[in-house]
Amino acid sequence: MKQFEGKVVLITGAGSGMGRAAAILLAQRGAAVALVGRRESKLNDAVTEIAAAGGCALALPGDVSRPEDVERAVTRTLENFGALHHAVNNAGVSGDFTHLVDMTPAQWQRTIDIDLNSLFYGIKYEIPAILAAGGGSIVNVSSVFADRGGPTADYSSAKHGIRGLTRTAAIQFGRQGVRVNELQPGVIDTEMTQANPEGAQKVADTGIPLGRVGTGDEVAKAIAFLLSDDASYINGAHLAVDGGFLA
């Protein structure tokens, strides 16, 4: 199924986890994918895997918490592929598990820069390029903790902020042909959960009706749906991929 044939997709946090899974799936479905992330070796590994399967991909090392790096990623995508039709703003960190009143301003700022400000930079530079291509769609990856408080104040606050950013962009650019939606992953098998597998399994056993941790491929399929024309009347929405965690 080549539903993204002729389309170009930029994905942040694409070196591992959900971002990598999305890049591989979208390439399989015909998209040219630009992979953005801090770890160049991880990006190159993903590009090699995509190319070996006959796909088209570009590695763009950069720090999404720096607006100039995000702008450069969009510029290089346009230089290499000639257009930008879709974007997945996925990069993020887990936050600092320091108690709220003990958290330093530096700890707070680091998480906000990566988990929220980077999505503002992405939208700021992606939307003009998508408009120039005639329209498209954006998926902002937040978390189930955009809907509830979490163990980390910085992380949960940033994810709540993504909701407002997504809705505002959806309102401002919907009539111009750009849809913007939010995807909320639950407990997914990524490097974050692999660092604490016992904790992830405990949450799965006690708080997830499906009784298991999700996979990157399951998240990638939801991202592909929201980007695609199958979701043509979905704009400013939020979709949880969480096994029923929020239920």
Closest C-alpha among 240, 220, 210 to residue 148:
240
Maximum CA extent, the chain: 51
Token couple for 32: 């040219």
- Residues 144 and 186 sit within 8 Å (Cβ to Cβ): yes
Instruction: Give the separation between CA 64 and CA 124, rounded to whole angstroms.
Output: 12
Closest C-alpha among 113, 144, 150, 149 to residue 214:
144
Q: What angle do CA 150, 240, 147 make, to 5 degrees?
A: 35
DSSP 103-121: --HHHHHHHHIIIIIHHHH
**155 annotated active-site:** yes
Task: Count the helix, strand and coil residues of the chain and give each as a percent rounded to the nearest 5.
Answer: 50, 15, 30
**Distance, C-alpha 219 to centroid of its chain:** 10
Instruction: Give the separation between CA 129 and CA 134, rounded to whole angstroms.
Output: 9
Tell me which residues are annotated as active site: 155
